[in-house]
Amino acid sequence: MNKLLKTISILATFGMLLVLVGGALVTKTESGMGCGSSWPLCDGEIIPSVITPELIIELSHRLVSGAVGILVLLLSVLSWKFIGHIREVKLLSFTSLFFLVLQALIGAAAVMWGQSDFVLAMHFGISLISFASIFLLTLLIFEIDKKFDARSLVIEPKLRMQIYALTAYILVVVYTGAFVRYADASMTCGSWPLCSSTTPFSDLYFGQWIQMGHRFAAGIAFVWTVLLFFKIIKSYKGNRVMLIGWTAALILMILQVTLGAMIIFTMLNLYIALLHALVITCYFGVLSYFVLLSTRSAKYEKERAESE
């Protein structure tokens, strides 16, 4: 059963990555209505009579999402049953399935009745929370925390609060990025990092304010990640999980900002845009692991204080 659980967790994790990248592909190629206003079938037909590229992309996304939904359901039930004694497992099992269903319902509602850009922009962030929950379940199943001796890790309260705050803030940054896509504001600024090299702060219209708002938010996330990295390098020199994890987080953040700039320079190259979605997903996954470690550190700290 342990081998089966590990296999399902790996399939669910990579499957959820495909769902996230597939959703970004649907948005980037404007294939959201490729199946018409029908859901879950395309144009109300089991086998579509008219095949278009948009239909193939949208239908593939629905099929992958459905298959991953089954995997996540299996993962949640089996994790609850066999490793439910681990403190975080039951909550993660619930959130992984709940947010996956929620993002599917928002996607279905967008197809059948239409939604505002503000609501649609939540779609990616909700999927991100589901991915993070599945990713953490996978790490717990593989006992990564034991291999890194994470139990001995003591994260100071101020750093824990920064990790919580940065993780929540990244969801805001992701929302602004998704809003840029849904509001068709991806190329409203033809220059980078400022909107215009001639008049960078004046005469901006709504779409440009959306684009610059996302860049400003992403800039704060970049600086925040760099500062935390140097703080951790200084304070946790001997801890592998902190050093490896935050080095990975820094590399992913640098790559994310670089890809964001390349989207502008390449005039919305599809592969660059999909990588942009993939990298932020991986970055959020790393942060979510440090949220888990932070909550454990707080718990152990409380237990030690009570035993003294």
- How does pLDDT run across 46-59, given as a tens digit for each residue? 788 778 888 899 88
- 131 lies in the same domain as 244: no
- 134 lies in the same domain as 251: no
Which domain-ending residue is among 107, 142, 177? 142
DSSP label at residue 155: -
For the question of whether the overall pTM of this predicted structure is more than 0.75, the answer is: yes
- 200 lies in the same domain as 156: yes
- 170 lies in the same domain as 188: yes
85 annotated to bind ligand: no
Q: Is 59 helix (H, G, I), strand (E, B) or coil?
A: helix
Domain total for the chain? Answer: 2
Which domain-ending residue is among 116, 142, 168? 142
- 138 lies in the same domain as 168: no
Among 45, 54, 58, 308, the one annotated catalytic: 58
What pLDDT is stored for residue 3 in this prediction? 87
- 138 lies in the same domain as 151: no
Give pLDDT < 70 ranges for the chain.
Answer: 1, 113-118, 144-151, 197-204, 303-308
Strand partners, 45: 42
What pLDDT is stored for residue 28 in this prediction? 84
What pLDDT is stored for residue 84 in this prediction? 87
- 117 lies in the same domain as 199: no
DSSP assignment of 190-230 equals: -SSSSS-SSSTTSS--HHHHHHHHHHHHHHHHHHHHHHHHH
- 301 a catalytic residue: no
169 vs 32, 155, 202, CA distance in Å? 28, 20, 27
What pLDDT is stored for residue 145 in this prediction? 60
What pLDDT is stored for residue 154 in this prediction? 83
Amino acid of residue 269: N
- Residues of the domain holding 293: 147-308
123 annotated to bind ligand: no
Structure tokens at 297: 């550190």
